[in-house]
């Protein structure tokens, strides 16, 4: 007959405390909501630390961030990473909407945490993700939360449209040359001078890249304290706001769950509000600039040639790009100009470039086959200097005189 003897453990097992964290979030910036976030942090810190069976693992809090996506919530991402590192057993949160309003994000995150042994407890709905009915209830309530945000988004859109119909912008946007005083756009005199200069320089024939380079070299910075670029100059030259008018609803949010802005190319109504603020640029000057934009675009054509990707800037490593401009006499002029803004940016006339290449290659007339066979690339270290780098390792420097 079998004899079974029970052997009791000599050392009693010590039950490990559950490592408990909390997640809190507010989606708008205000004193009231800031206080709400602080209250949530204090509440959960005290709740966890007062439970003798729990070990405090911290409170993760995202402020002024929407709950429709988890991608931009740094604290949420850090919390999930800590769960994956085995630092957390339980997550407490106020409600489903605080955790995530997007059903897909919510369920995929909760399922992932469940697989790695982390339970999420939703206080308001009294749901525990590890329970048998937890995921079913989460699916139902998360769908409701998502529908709520879609309805809320529609209400916000309606309110915005009403403001647009009254000629009012949706928000106080940042624009060089102006500042907001209450609900009114006021001219900043020193910035307005720069705006006028940009328009005058462009009409005098300068490119947006040249204008940007000059402004930056003189220590003039943008509204956000950065160097000027061709695109930032371009934005000023094509912005109708400088004429004292506003175009409203230029962009819109197509999907309230992604919050991605889309340019309004006629999908929705746009609103022109006239004389909403003092103008810096008169309408005639603005129209002349737009006409010049159109003219330059029609004159400019980009082609590939034997020099494509062969002319390099030694300062930034970028290649020079070929442009062809058609004059009023129907003659074609070609030059090379480095893309972007760089201290080494120089224009090079293509005919002069061919002449210099022929001289360096010791041939009477330029021949692209000979050039491609022998030259690896051309560097432009400074004004009027071309540095030829040959495929055999030889380097020749030639003075370039336009």
Domain check: are 209 and 123 in the same one? no
Q: How far apart are CA 321 and CA 305, in angstroms?
A: 10
Of 271, 297, 323, which residue is a domain's last?
A: 297
pLDDT tens-digit profile of 341-364?
555 556 787 888 899 999 999 999
Angle between helices 208-217 and 189-203 (to 10 degrees): 140
328 domain-assigned:
yes
Same domain, yes or no: 143 and 24 = yes
CATH number of the CATH domain containing 195: 3.90.1750.20
Shared domain for 288 and 319, answered yes or no, is: no
Q: Is residue 155 situated within a structural domain?
A: no
Token readout for 9 is 């453990």
Nearest to 119 by CA among 193, 186, 57, 62: 57
Q: Which of 263, 297, 331 delimits the end of a domain? A: 297
Whether 41 and 138 share a structural domain: yes
57, 126: one domain = yes
Looking at the fold, whether 329 and 287 belong to one and the same domain comes out as no
Which of 47-51, 62-66, 183-187, 352-356 ranks highest by mean pLDDT? 47-51
- What is the structure's pLDDT at 49? 94
CATH, residue 142:
3.40.50.1390
**Does 5 map to a domain?**
no
The 10s digit of each residue's pLDDT in 290-321 is: 998 888 777 655 556 788 888 888 877 777 87
Same domain for 227 and 110: no
Q: What are 178-203's pLDDT values in tens digits?
A: 998 888 889 999 999 999 999 999 99
Query: Percentage of the chain with pLDDT > 70?
Result: 74
Residue 24 lies in a domain: yes
Lowest-pLDDT choice from 17-31, 264-278, 287-301, 321-335:
321-335
Asked whether residue 172 is domain-assigned, the answer is no
Average pLDDT value for the chain: 80
Q: What share of the chain has pLDDT > 90, as a percent?
A: 32
Same domain, yes or no: 113 and 226: no
Domain of 336, in residue numbers: 311-399
* 265 and 365 belong to one structural domain: no
Number of domains in the chain: 3
Claim to verify: residue 258 and residue 281 sit in the same structural domain: yes
Instruction: Answer with the one of 242, 272, 297 that is the final residue of a domain.
Output: 297
Confidence grade of residue 18 (pLDDT, cut at 50, 70, 90): very high
Phi first, then psi, for residue 51 (nearest 5°) are: -95, 115
List the beta bridge partners of residue 6.
Answer: none
> Would you state the pLDDT for residue 330?
36
71-75, 167-171, 246-250, 327-331: the lowest-pLDDT one: 327-331
Q: Is 93 helix (H, G, I), strand (E, B) or coil?
A: strand
Where are the extended beta strands (E) located within 2-88? 18-26, 54-63
| Domain membership flag for residue 305 | no
């Amino acid at each position: 007959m079998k004899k079974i003897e029970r052997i009791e453990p000599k050392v009693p097992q010590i039950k490990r405390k559950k490592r408990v964290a909390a997640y809190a979030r507010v989606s708008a910036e205000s004193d009231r909501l800031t206080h709400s976030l602080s209250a949530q942090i204090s509440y959960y810190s005290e709740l966890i630390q007062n439970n003798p069976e729990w070990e405090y693992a911290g409170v993760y809090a995202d402020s002024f961030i929407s709950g429709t996506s988890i991608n931009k919530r740094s604290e949420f991402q850090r919390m999930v990473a800590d769960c994956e590192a085995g630092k957390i057993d339980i997550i407490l949160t106020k409600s489903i909407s605080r955790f995530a309003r997007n059903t897909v994000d919510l369920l995929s995150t909760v399922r992932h945490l469940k697989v790695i042994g982390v339970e999420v407890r939703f206080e308001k709905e009294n749901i525990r993700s590890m329970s048998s009915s937890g995921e079913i209830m989460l699916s139902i309530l998360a769908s409701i939360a998502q529908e709520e945000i879609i309805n809320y988004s529609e209400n916000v859109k309606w309110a915005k449209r009403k403001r647009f119909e009254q000629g009012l912008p949706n928000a106080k946007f940042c624009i060089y040359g102006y500042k907001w005083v209450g609900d009114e756009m006021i001219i900043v005199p020193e910035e307005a001078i720069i705006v006028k200069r940009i328009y005058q320089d462009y009409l005098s024939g300068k490119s947006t890249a040249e204008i940007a380079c000059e402004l930056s070299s003189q220590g003039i910075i943008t509204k956000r304290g950065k160097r000027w670029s061709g695109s930032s100059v371009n934005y000023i030259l094509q912005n109708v706001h400088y004429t004292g008018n506003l175009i409203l609803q230029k962009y819109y949010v197509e999907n309230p769950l992604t919050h991605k802005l889309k340019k309004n190319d006629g999908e929705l109504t746009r609103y022109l509000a006239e004389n909403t603020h003092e103008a810096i640029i008169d309408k005639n000057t603005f129209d002349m600039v737009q006409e010049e934009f159109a003219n330059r675009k029609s004159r400019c054509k980009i082609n590939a040639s034997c020099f494509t990707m062969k002319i390099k800037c030694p300062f930034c490593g970028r290649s020079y790009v070929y442009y062809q401009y058609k004059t009023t006499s129907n003659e074609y002029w070609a030059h090379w100009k480095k893309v972007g803004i760089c201290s080494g940016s120089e224009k090079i006339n293509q005919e002069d470039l061919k002449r210099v290449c022929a001289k360096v290659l010791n041939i009477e007339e330029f021949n692209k086959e000979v050039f491609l066979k022998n030259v690896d690339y051309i560097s432009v270290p400074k004004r009027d200097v071309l540095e030829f780098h040959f495929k055999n390792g030889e380097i020749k420097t030639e003075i370039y005189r336009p």
